[in-house]
Amino acid sequence: MDFLSFLIKGRSLSTPRQCSIVKPNFPALLRFSSSDSAAYTATYDFETLTVTAPDDHILHVQLNRPECYNAMNKMFWREMLDCFRKIRDDRYCRAVIISGSGQLFSAGLDYSDMQDLTSQVAGKGDVARKAKFLLSLIAKYQESFNAVENCQKPVIAAIHGKCSGGGVDLICACDIRYCSEDAFFEIEEVDVGMAADMGTLQRLPKIVGNDSLVREYAFSCAKIDPQEAKTIGLVGRVFPTKDAMMTSALALAKVITSKSPVAIQGTKVAMNFSRDHSVQDGLQFMTYWNMTMLQSEDVLKAAEATINKSDKPPKYSKL
């Protein structure tokens, strides 16, 4: 029975049922071979990032400078922007995991790059022209993490070891944050003579909901341990090991990819918009959004699966 016929017969979709948080092991929606996977991810060819496809519709973006603790150099900023713009337009991908290779997630900015930058602006020259140069550079770097936030696919950050400076900027642009028990976090920019300018000071107060506490961390560069990070809402879950964390991140990504990509991506867009606008503005935005998206075939497929109490999720088309 199709959805419209169901409505005509006058049945209700609101059958009461007990809800619980589960992690079902859904079957793959579109299983491809390891050779197909390699060919697919080969299009994501970067020097500072490694991109793999651990399961259908999931991409794993790994910071890949372990020899220098995944410090963020000029190449990284360019590649991060290119990578997430590509993911944004990738119709196959429905969820992303970000992690760090080696001993830790990221030590933040690559200070050898900072020295190169300092040498360009420290010499003689007109202050207006130096400022113009820095304005363009900072805005370009900010776009790299804005691309993570603006990518409509949910992004799960999986953090182990140290996460400081630019690492905190990056995870604040992600949707969901997991960490292992060896993780810790530092907003360290004040200690290197600058104010953080890649998003932590703008996003973290909204994530944590405690402006006073974020100012304390930012002014003092105090270390935030994993349990404190969970208590204040910086991370959602803490795991005993990196392996356990990665397993759970992948399990969550699989659940997300089993849902309608129209619904998931619309939910992310709506939550990002509502975070930065009034409740009324957010409701108005969703009126315009859903006047189109409720016409999607995904609504009919999801309703039919619910009506039929199917054990398997519908097979949704690429978006």
User: pLDDT tens digits, residue range 192-211?
Assistant: 889 999 999 999 999 999 99
Q: Report strand pairing: 237-239 vs 176-180.
A: parallel
Residue environment code for 233-257, b if the CB has 16+ CB neighbours within 10 A, otherwise e = ebbeebbeebeebbebbbebbbbbb
User: Which pLDDT score, from 0 to 100, does residue 310 have?
Assistant: 83
User: pLDDT tens digits, residue range 265-291?
Assistant: 999 999 999 999 999 999 999 999 999
User: Which pLDDT score, from 0 to 100, does residue 225 have?
Assistant: 97
Q: Report strand pairing: 184-186 vs 49-55.
A: unpaired
What's the CA gap between 307 and 208, in Å, rounded? 39
One-letter amino acid of 193: G
Contact 170, 148 (CB under 8 A): yes
Q: pTM for the whole thing?
A: 0.85
Residue whose tokens read 């039919």: 304
Contact 175, 268 (CB under 8 A): yes
User: Which pLDDT score, from 0 to 100, does residue 6 have?
Assistant: 31
Intervals of the chain under pLDDT 70:
1-36, 38, 115-124
What are the E-state strand segments in the chain?
49-55, 58-63, 95-100, 155-159, 162-164, 176-180, 184-186, 237-239
User: Which pLDDT score, from 0 to 100, does residue 119 have?
Assistant: 66
What's the CA gap between 229 and 177, in Å, rounded? 10
The 3-state DSSP class for residue 257 equals helix
Candidates 78, 247, 234; CA nearest to 163 is: 234
Long-range pairs for 38-42: beta carbons < 8 A, 24 or more residues apart: 40/92
User: Which pLDDT score, from 0 to 100, does residue 266 have?
Assistant: 96
Q: How many CB atoms lie within 10 A of CB 194?
A: 12
Please report the DSSP string for 145-175 in residue order.
Answer: HHHHHH-SS-EEEEE-SEEETHHHHHHHTSS
Candidates 224, 114, 256, 208; CA nearest to 159 is: 224
Helix then strand count (H, E) for the chain reads 13, 8
